[in-house]
């Protein structure tokens, strides 16, 4: 059997504006999956290829760097050296690297209504930028229909499946 793109195999949506091809183009420098032209791209500034599946995971890792969230969730998601170049500190920084997500991320902010009841008090206690990072992660993961087993459990806990 021919090798196919990991995200095509999982029938995940493509990066907005791109089309999935099934043919592996490159290996994600962070998680090592093989993905096609519609599921990853090379960042010329850092000279690395990144798959789109790593985007929500890195948004969560970024959000967890705020100690209050990590403390309340009783967990930490350390940023590995291999992925430190891909971590963003704000949604604006995400959109500089991934302008393809501008439309769906800027249309978010409705997530509060959909949050599980158990997480609403925690959510309200978070700084705005932390909320925005998690919100963007949820919107991207939903829109591209990533599977929950491919996402960090902390992110899944914020999503009302
Ligand atoms: Zn693909
Ligand atoms: Zn990846």
Q: What is the pLDDT of residues 70-118, one digit of tens each?
A: 777 777 778 888 889 999 989 999 999 999 999 999 866 655 557 888 8
pLDDT of residue 42: 95
CA of 49 to the centre of ligand 2 (A): 9
CA of 147 to the centre of ligand 2 (A): 14
CA distance 17 to 50: 17
Mean pLDDT taken over the chain: 89
Helices 128-143, 54-64: inter-axial angle, 10-degree rounding:
160
77 φ, ψ to 5°?
A: -125, 90
CA distance 23 to 26: 9
CA of 117 to the centre of ligand 2 (A): 31
CA of 33 to the centre of ligand 2 (A): 6
SS3 145: coil
Q: Which ligand is nearest to the CA of 6?
A: 1
Say whether pTM exceeds 0.75. Answer: yes
Neighbours of ion ligand 2 (CB under 5 A): 28, 30-31, 51, 54
């Amino acid at each position: 059997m021919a090798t196919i793109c990991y995200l095509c195999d999982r029938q995940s949506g493509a990066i907005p504006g791109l089309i999935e091809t099934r043919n592996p183009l490159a290996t994600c420098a962070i998680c090592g999956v093989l993905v096609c032209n519609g599921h990853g791209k090379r960042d010329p500034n850092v000279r690395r290829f990144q798959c789109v599946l790593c985007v929500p995971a890195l948004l969560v890792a970024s959000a967890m760097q705020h100690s209050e969230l990590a403390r309340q969730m009783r967990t930490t998601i350390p940023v590995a050296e291999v992925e430190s170049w891909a971590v963003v500190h704000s949604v604006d920084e995400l959109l500089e690297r991934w302008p393809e997500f501008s439309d769906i991320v800027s249309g978010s902010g409705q997530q509060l209504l959909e949050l599980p009841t158990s997480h609403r008090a925690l959510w309200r206690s978070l700084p705005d930028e932390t909320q925005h990072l998690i919100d963007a992660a949820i919107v991207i993961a939903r829109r591209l229909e990533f599977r929950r087993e491919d996402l960090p459990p902390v992110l899944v806990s914020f999503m009302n499946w």
